[in-house]
Amino acid sequence: MAEAKEKKVKITEREIVRDMLTKILVDSGSNVIGRTKEGLVLAVNDNHVVVKTILKKEKVERKDFVETF
pLDDT per position as a tens digit, 4-53 = 677 777 888 778 888 888 888 888 888 888 888 778 888 888 888 888 87
Q: What pTM did the predictor assign?
A: 0.58
Asked if residue 27 belongs to a domain, the reply is yes
Asked if residue 22 belongs to a domain, the reply is yes
Is the four-CA dihedral 19, 20, 22, 23 of positive or negative sign?
positive
Distance CA 44, CA 21 (A): 17
Asked if residue 64 belongs to a domain, the reply is no
Lowest-pLDDT choice from 1-5, 16-20, 59-63 = 1-5
Q: Which residue blocks in the chain are alpha helix, DSSP H?
A: 13-27
What per-residue confidence (pLDDT) applies to 3?
61
Which range of residues forms the domain containing residue 22? 13-56
The total domain count for the chain is 1
Asked if residue 69 belongs to a domain, the reply is no
Asked if residue 23 belongs to a domain, the reply is yes
Count of other CB atoms within 10 angstroms of residue 21:
15
